[in-house]
Amino acid sequence: MIFRPKERPKKVEYKKSADGKVCLVTGAAGFIGFHLSKRLLEQGEIVCGIDNLNDYYDVRLKHARLSQLYTYKNFTFLKGDIADRRFIRKAYMGAKPDTVVHLAAQAGVRYSLENPDAYIKSNIVGFYNLLETARRRPPRHLLYASSSSVYGANTKVPFKESDRTGDPLSLYAATKMSNEIMAGTYSRLHKIPMTGLRFFTVYGPMGRPDMAYYKFTQRFFAGAPIRVYNNGDLAHDLYRDYTYIDDIVEGIQRIMESPPGGDAPHRIFNIGNNRPEKLSDLIATLERSLSRAVGREVKFNKVYEGMKPGDMRVTCASTEALKEAVGFAPKTTIEDGLQKFADWYVDWYKQK
């Protein structure tokens, strides 16, 4: 049975731990938020999740993720919008978190061209509301989602955390840059240990349907051609640093347990694979993965189009700082990761 929460329960019974270690995860029904929450819950941690369950993509997938989390007795869920200051203050003060992992945001580069208001409301106002609340009762560590998109027009690869980030190619990227600046300011003023996480193209089972690998799969099963945004120019192929969801979760967990110190306790890490994949290679690998999942040969029908506004041609993460700080580097290959996604996708949609 799929759990569907009420709009906003009047009285919430927050789960508590004996040592006071509660993790507040915003965006808990989202892709990364779900997988992180599930890992923490499996390990016996107390998790309070927040999500507004918006319809940016199929809400049934969000409900399905949430229904899995709700099977754990150490999970509390609140439906609400972080842009609602009254809601976030009430939720935060009720949970009294030891650690906050802020993943709630309006995602998507291209959608920011269509609906910029959603990005200002969620990514700017929502993050401000959380910071204002957190300064009244600082957590031991506050982590927040940034993005590889902050590197914008930077052509130097791999991207290092010390690289210039002043040329965003989309409003989405600009909001994530703003988050990093806001976090640094609040960290200095209020001595809140914070870590920004620059995610690089996260993929895997129960992922976001707006991502290329997911859309390619959907279009194949719908009998439609896939759209490839490089005009078929293999000499100038697109590269993406695809990072499997389990690696992302492992990196977040290690960082959670290692808050920064000092007078200005704010830092930023890339969480990527340091192995960018050509778009053409991704497509070929996904075809092979789906072929194994369905037991027959899969070949995409391709339609080539030009680059879309806001898109970056190459993303590639330097992971040296992350490895030095917490001894971790992602390890899942694109072949293994896409096979796990393909197997999940075929099984999931058989049930629909």
**Which active-site residues does the annotation give?**
172
* Separation CA 141–CA 25 (nearest Å): 12
* Separation CA 127–CA 119 (nearest Å): 11
DSSP H helix total and E strand total for the chain: 12, 13
DSSP symbols for 29-69: TSHHHHHHHHHHHHTT-EEEEEE---SSS-HHHHHHHHHHH
Take residue 318 and report the two structure tokens written for it.
Answer: 């330097």
> Smallest Cα–Cα separation from 17: which of 89, 76, 100, 101?
76
- Asked if 237 contacts 276 with a C-beta cutoff of 8 angstroms, the reply is no
Q: Give 49's strand partners.
A: 25, 77
- Asked if 276 contacts 315 with a C-beta cutoff of 8 angstroms, the reply is yes
Take residue 280 and report the two structure tokens written for it.
Answer: 């053409």
> Smallest Cα–Cα separation from 330: which of 203, 235, 231?
203
Take residue 45 and report the two structure tokens written for it.
Answer: 């941690």
> Smallest Cα–Cα separation from 82: which of 120, 113, 46, 51?
51
Compute CA 86 distance to the chain's CA centroid, rounded to the nearest angstrom: 25
Task: Judge residue 232's burial from the number of C-beta atoms within 10 Å of its C-beta, 0-12 exposed, 13-18 middle, 19 or more buried.
Answer: exposed
Q: How many CA atoms lie within 13 A of 85 on its CB side?
A: 8
- Asked if 241 contacts 276 with a C-beta cutoff of 8 angstroms, the reply is yes
